[in-house]
Amino acid sequence: MMSTNWKSRLRALKAETYALSLAYRDPRTPWYAKAWAAVVVAYAFSPIDLIPDFIPILGYLDDLLLVPLGVLLALKLIPAEVMAESREKARDIHEKPVNRWTGALVVLLWLALAGLGIVWSLKTLGVIR
């Protein structure tokens, strides 16, 4: 019984994320809402997590909290009529949207953060100045 409720909530979250992926492309959506929705959709569909899933409890915390909170904020920023149309269009889509530019942006962001971490570590250790 409880797992059915969770499954239906996850399906609803997935549907909302698909709808957001359509809504942020709509010209009636304000630029700040487009930017936020693009970040949320990219993170939700990205295989790279802020906290890796293999870390006990914390690994799933980002999936259980960050994505739903990001979706909620995006829904508040996007006009209601745009979201209604996007939800309708999302019902017709049966596959995950692919946005290679957004995926590339996420990968570049992670590589940049990793590079900064390495440089900081080497400076801290005194290997480089």
Name residue 29's amino acid.
Answer: T
pLDDT number for residue 94: 57
Q: Is 97 helix (H, G, I), strand (E, B) or coil?
A: coil
pLDDT tens digits, residue range 28-70? 999 999 999 988 888 887 777 666 767 777 777 777 788 888 8
Find the farthest-apart pair of alpha carbons in the chain and give their distance in angstroms, rounded.
59
pLDDT tens digits, residue range 64-121? 788 888 889 999 999 999 999 999 888 877 555 567 777 788 888 889 999 999 999 9
- Alpha carbons 45 and 66: distance in angstroms, whole number: 13
pLDDT number for residue 2: 52
pLDDT number for residue 73: 93
Q: How far is CA 48 from CA 24, 75, 91, in A?
A: 21, 23, 26
Same domain (yes/no): 53, 116: no
Helices (H), the chain: 2-23, 31-45, 58-61, 67-77, 80-92, 100-125
Task: Write down the residue that tokens 């992670």 correspond to.
Answer: 110
Same domain (yes/no): 68, 123: no
Number of domains into which the chain is organized: 2
What is the reported pTM? Answer: 0.61
pLDDT number for residue 95: 56
Domain that holds residue 103: 99-129
Same domain (yes/no): 29, 64: yes
Residue 3 above 70 pLDDT?
no
Same domain (yes/no): 88, 111: no
Same domain (yes/no): 64, 126: no
pLDDT number for residue 97: 58
> What tokens were used for 49?
């997590």
- Alpha carbons 120 and 61: distance in angstroms, whole number: 27
Same domain (yes/no): 58, 87: yes
